[in-house]
Amino acid sequence: MEAGKPAWLEALDKQRFFVSCSVHENARKKEKNICCLDCCTAICAHCLRSHHGHRLVQIRRYVYHDVVRLQDLDELIDCSSVQSYTINSSKVIFLKKRPQSRQFKGSGNICTSCDRTLQEPYVHCSLECKVDYISREGKDFSPYLRTCRSLQLNPELITAPEADAGGDDGNETTRSTVVQGEDDAMCSSDSENFSMPYVSFIRKKRSGLPCHCSRSANRTSHDGIAASSSRRKGIPQRSPLC
């Protein structure tokens, strides 16, 4: 019997991640960055107690795109033909299509769904592109799916909300945008375009600040000289007569 598209694949494609959790509106770290594959829904870190023992996948973000660790997805579906990238020393795969605005001139394969230029031997640029290809060709999903009864979050990848009570909410997203891709041409250009305006803005702000360092130093030196000159000298000691 042929197997169709599983519900958890539909959830990874349709669920909205990195939006505020309506159940924990007043809590910190309330972004939905976890997908429960058994409930087929997006949850935040505060919802974990209600999904104990379920198969869970952490969703990361790179330049406004949702990504998942290759190690986690490979437990669920064959990802050998999907191009992976490296983020924070972990290989990840994009969840959604990323149509290319202009064709990259060079050797390589073309994505089967969105015509993005890829490295060999990859033929899909995202999980969605591979799923669309299987559905479009009328193929059975069974050869691609893998049996996975347990999939838990790595404690090192997600921090408990209580432990981050005094932290900055934007740190995780900022770190996740620093990507070193296997496709150096595309990943390096994306990272440069994302970071350069911020760097130039900081430089402009710094250059516009008035500099009072030299005046403060001069004022300190003058005050020191005035203080030393105002001190009373002791009675001079004459040398003994020979």
| pLDDT tens-digit readout, 150-199 | 888 877 545 555 555 444 444 444 343 334 344 433 443 333 333 333 33
Rounded Cα distance between 123 and 114, Å, is: 10
pLDDT digits (tens, 9 = 90+) for 55-114: 999 999 988 899 999 999 999 999 999 999 998 888 999 999 987 766 666 677 899 998
- From the CB of residue 36, how many other CB atoms can be counted at a distance below 10 Å? 20
Rounded Cα distance between 118 and 141, Å, is: 24
Rounded Cα distance between 162 and 30, Å, is: 12
Choice among 98-107, 117-126, 137-146 with the minimum mean pLDDT: 98-107
**pLDDT recorded at residue 106:** 65
pTM of this prediction?
0.64
Share of the chain above pLDDT 90, in %: 43
pLDDT digits (tens, 9 = 90+) for 10-43: 999 999 999 999 999 889 889 999 999 999 999 9
Residue 157 · residue 87 · CB < 8 Å: no
**pLDDT recorded at residue 63:** 86
**pLDDT recorded at residue 155:** 72
Has residue 232 got a pLDDT over 70? Answer: no
